[in-house]
Structures are given as C-alpha cells and as structure tokens.
C-alpha cells in the first residue's frame, strides 16, 4: 500500500520516501507519494526522483496492484534499490494546471445541472459529457455562472465519509459512468463553498485548488453533440 500524500495536501511539491518495489515493467513503488496516479479523467503526475546524486525523470504515474501507486520512469536508466530513501519532486506547473482544471470541471457540473457521463482533464482545458438530449440554451449564462463562482473565491475542502453514509445520499454521485470504489471503506468528498455558501459536494479522489479564485480567467469552449443523449462541453484556462 502506498500512502497517498496528495489526498491530504495537494500542494506538496517535494517529499522524502522509501522504495518498496521495482515492478517487472520497470515502475517504482514508494511507501508514500505526492504523485497522483491516472484516474477520474485526470492524468498521472510527472516529475523527478533524486538519490545519491542521481536524478530520474518520471513520465507518468499509474495505479498498481492493490493500493499501490507506480511511478513510471521517462527513460531506461539505473533504478533505485528497494529500501533506498530518496526525494520525490513534482512537475508542479503541470500538476497545478490539472488542479485548476479539475476544480473548474466541478464548477461546470454545477452550472450545467445534468448527470455526468464522462470527462477529461489536460493542462490547458477540460471537458465533461452530460446526459442531456438538447444543447444548453444560453452559452453566456454558463460562462457567467462559472466566472461568478471563480470570482467569489469559494473555499475548496475535503472530508471522508463511509460507504454506508454515501448510500444514504445517492444524489451526491453526479458521475453516471464512474461510481466511487465499492471496496473502499471510506469515500472522499470534495466540497466547494462553506456550509452557508456551499454550491457543490461530490465524491472525488482528484487534486484541487483550495480557493476557486485560484482557477483564474476561463473561457467556455465548444459544445458538441455526442450521441442521442450526450452533450460534450469544453472549458479552457485563459492563461
């Protein structure tokens, strides 16, 4: 099991760790990591591992067996030994842009209140697929709502609940295609706004900014028809 440090503090850029395993495919499993693994439409983190004067670029991060997280080197080179202590460093600019886009997509799911059937995140933009047969009536209304959520600089926080507690409030799950993991004892909820100003609360294991104002200026992109009951809506970071 890898301790996922990013779940408690998405702003950690560096952290020490110990090598637990080198996989047959050449991936590296640490006892604790700041690297987010590909999942939920968010790409895996990249960065570097450093030890004994060596510096290994990490191309991406994926989920391994059980609860392990596997860091994938960018190129073949000498691997760290199992048991070795090293330093992990994120490609912070890339990760932070993923955080901004991911939080923006949560806001988009509020501005467009339909079931979500899929989504994707990149460093420049993101998209959500909505279960809606007709295109939204007014693009300007969506863009205005998003800009207002961002300018309100709402707090983004997380908490943990049990599977039983989640089953009591099924309306929290907006994603129709991807459900929270059934085997997990606890489910992480991401909340936007405080109790009196809350606009969103939903299960999510991704990384987010701590205030909506950190997202910055945005633009609403194209809206595409993707099947009889699906509309794909794009949003872009403007800088």
Specify the pTM.
0.93
For 199-217, what is each residue's pLDDT tens digit?
Answer: 999 999 999 999 999 999 9
DSSP one-letter string for 142-211: HHHHHHHHHHTT-BEEEEEEEHHHHHT-GGG--BSS-PPPSS-SEEEEEEES-TTT--EEEE--S---SB
Percent pLDDT > 70 in the chain is: 96
Q: Which is higher by pLDDT, 47 or 166?
A: 47
Q: Evaluate whether 130 touches 112 at the Cβ level (below 8 Å).
A: yes
Please name each of the domains of the chain with its CATH number: 3-90 (2.40.30.130), 95-237 (3.30.980.10)
Give the pLDDT mean for 121-139: 91
Q: Which residue has the tokens 């191309």?
A: 59
pLDDT above 70: residue 181 = no
């Amino acid at each position: 099991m890898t301790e996922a440090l990013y779940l408690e503090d998405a702003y950690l850029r560096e952290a020490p760790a110990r090598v637990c395993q080198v996989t047959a495919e050449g991936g590296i499993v640490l006892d604790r990591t700041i690297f987010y693994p590909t999942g939920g439409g968010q790409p895996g983190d990249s960065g570097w591992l450093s030890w004994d004067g060596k510096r290994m670029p990490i191309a991406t991060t994926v989920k391994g067996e059980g609860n392990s997280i596997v860091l994938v080197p960018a190129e073949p080179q000498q691997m760290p030994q199992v048991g070795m202590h090293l330093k992990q460093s994120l490609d912070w600019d890339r990760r932070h842009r993923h955080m901004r886009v991911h939080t923006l997509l949560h806001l988009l799911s509020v501005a467009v209140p339909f079931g979500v059937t899929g989504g994707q995140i990149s460093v420049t933009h993101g998209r959500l697929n909505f279960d809606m047969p007709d295109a939204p009536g007014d693009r300007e209304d969506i863009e205005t709502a998003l800009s207002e959520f961002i300018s309100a600089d709402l707090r983004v926080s997380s908490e943990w609940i049990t599977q039983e507690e989640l089953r009591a409030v099924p309306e929290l799950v907006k994603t129709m295609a991807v459900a929270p993991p059934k085997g997990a004892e606890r489910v992480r909820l991401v909340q936007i706004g405080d109790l009196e100003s809350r606009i969103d609360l939903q299960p999510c294991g991704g990384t987010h900014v701590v205030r909506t104002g950190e997202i910055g200026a945005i633009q609403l992109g194209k809206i595409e028809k993707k099947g009889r009951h699906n509309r794909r809506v794009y949003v872009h970071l403007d800088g």
